[in-house]
Amino acid sequence: MSLEKEISTINETSALEYPTFRVPYEELNCKFRQGQKRMEMAGMAIKRFATALERRIGDAQDAIPVEKVKGAYKNLCSQVEELENALSETVGNEIELAERLQARIAYMDEQQDPSDDCPTSLIEWKNDRNRVARYSIWYLLRCGHFGTAKRMAESYKMKDIVDLDVFENCKKIEDSLRGGDTRLCLEWIELHRPKLKKMKSKLEMFVRQQDVVDLVSQKKILDALKYVRANITPQMRPDCQEELQTIMGIIGLSDYNNRFAELFSPVRWEKVGRMFVEELFLLYQLPFQSAFSLCLQCGLAAHKTPLCRRDDRSKKEIQCYVCDKDAWPIAEGLPNGHVSQSRILCSISGQLCDEKNVPFMLPSGRICGENVLAPLRVEDDLICDPETNQWVPAQQIQRLYFM
């Protein structure tokens, strides 16, 4: 692989394609942990029931009545069945996710090194189109436009490349939190508990706090106390002392409505919803800005000059993408493009215009290098303008100088 190609791979793939592999990898991790836990529990239960069965049989020499061991044997069988199911489901899930990862690797490989005999420009165009489509789908998923994202993924055959289900689930949980329901979020926390613990996440504490607030506002003080005892484990306490104090304050103080007004307002549910999305992104190690908005900002910054200002004229009248009134709110805070050495490129061949290929300007305003202009000259003093297809006297073509 040439150096140029390697550099473009780093720029275009490694940095921005991160979510392509990170999300299924984390899902695989989660399914593996869940499967291990389920199998361990079934294994422990088998051990327990086997001991119970052994105890019942003892060292009896004579036949034992079926009734005596029936219950213990049934329990043992059900746990063996559970272990078998857990094993096949876990392996099935892991294979499915590994295949998803493999499919993505193959897809990215094909994007980098296409096997068909298309001309390079067509391949580049196809790859660019697919890349933009992928970034747009991620962006749509982040904004919660699942219907559009799904249709786009189907039409570009990218259903296996983007994680529709993960983002759909995220939106569902976020909406349920905003609606004051913590059930789905707590289920999600249970699934990802080991990873959240490693991240020292306080999400569970904040969600439980909302449950307590809910019970207290219904005047169910005793239920709130029971809820804290049952759900806030000693392991959670050292990292969340402050939050725990707040919870106990809500339960214990009669003027909780004044002291903790913020926790009782509907805005708090919105905040917890946002907090959940942030934690989910952290868990999957997804950047807070999508690849689409990063590319858009890079593109605008590259074009931005110190003279750029918001321009309210119509798009047809504006020459600059940055000054466009729709782009300006994004571009305003971005740095200006720093071009230390400007280069002039021939508008027809794309070759660099320098002392070996001096630039000229045709009356139509098109700038061409000498290399392209020479073959256009049919007669000594007439040149065919490629822009207008008209014959132009050579005297009207101006040599360009840049300072």
* Site residues (vs Zn ion, CB under 5 A): 308, 320, 322-323
| CB-CB contact of 178 with 17 (8 Å) | no
Nearest 5°: CA angle at 142, between 136 and 144? 105
| CB-CB contact of 346 with 353 (8 Å) | yes
User: Cα separation of 20 and 290, whole Å?
Assistant: 12
Closest to Zn ion by CB, 282 or 301: 301
CB of 307 to Zn ion, least distance (A): 6
CB atoms within 10 A of CB 122: 11
Beta bridge partners of 311: 324
Closest to Zn ion by CB, 83 or 308: 308
Closest to Zn ion by CB, 119 or 306: 306
Closest to Zn ion by CB, 101 or 320: 320
319: DSSP letter: -
Helix axes 203-217, 266-283, angle to 10 degrees: 160
308: DSSP letter: -
Sign of the alpha-carbon dihedral angle for 139, 143, 148, 154: positive
Closest to Zn ion by CB, 221 or 302: 302
Nearest 5°: CA angle at 369, between 363 and 371? 125
CB of 296 to Zn ion, least distance (A): 15
Residue 217: CB partners within 8 Å, gap ≥ 6? 264
CB of 328 to Zn ion, least distance (A): 9
Sign of the alpha-carbon dihedral angle for 282, 283, 287, 291: negative
Nearest 5°: CA angle at 16, between 11 and 21? 125
CA 365 to chain CA centroid, nearest Å: 45
Closest to Zn ion by CB, 12 or 311: 311
Q: Count of alpha carbons within 13 Å of 254, Cβ hemisphere only?
A: 0
User: Cα separation of 339 and 184, whole Å?
Assistant: 51
CA 29 to chain CA centroid, nearest Å: 17
CB of 323 to Zn ion, least distance (A): 4
Closest to Zn ion by CB, 39 or 322: 322
CB of 295 to Zn ion, least distance (A): 19
Closest to Zn ion by CB, 228 or 323: 323
Closest to Zn ion by CB, 30 or 323: 323
CB of 298 to Zn ion, least distance (A): 16
Structure tokens at 377: 């000259």
CB of 190 to Zn ion, least distance (A): 52
CB of 338 to Zn ion, least distance (A): 15
Phi, psi of 377 (to 5 degrees): -80, 110
CB of 345 to Zn ion, least distance (A): 20
